Amino acid sequence: MVGSPQNYLAVIKVVGVGGAGVNAVNRMIDAGLKGVEFIAVKPRRSGPAHERC
């Protein structure tokens, strides 16, 4: 049996990618944003030998 909509809570996840995304996540954390799961990904660049373009 499915419960009524009042029984469900929203799941909010913020994903920050790259330097700007990580900075945005950090600012949200510093601002005290609650009830949010934060994920920050800052990939490393391998250098010109691994770039396709």
In a domain, 6, yes or no: no
The distance in angstroms from the start CA to the end CA of the chain is 53
Cα 33 off chain centre by? 13
pLDDT at residue number 5? 65
pLDDT at residue number 9? 84
Global confidence as pTM: 0.66
3-state secondary structure the chain: CCCCHHHCCCCEEEEEEHHHHHHHHHHHHHCCCCCEEEEEECCCCCCHHHCCC
Residues, the chain, total?
A: 53
In a domain, 17, yes or no: yes
Domain range for 29? 11-42
Into how many domains does the chain fold?
1
In a domain, 48, yes or no: no
In a domain, 49, yes or no: no
In a domain, 3, yes or no: no
Q: Average pLDDT per run of 10 along the chain, which is 53 residues long? A: 71 95 96 95 72 49
In a domain, 2, yes or no: no
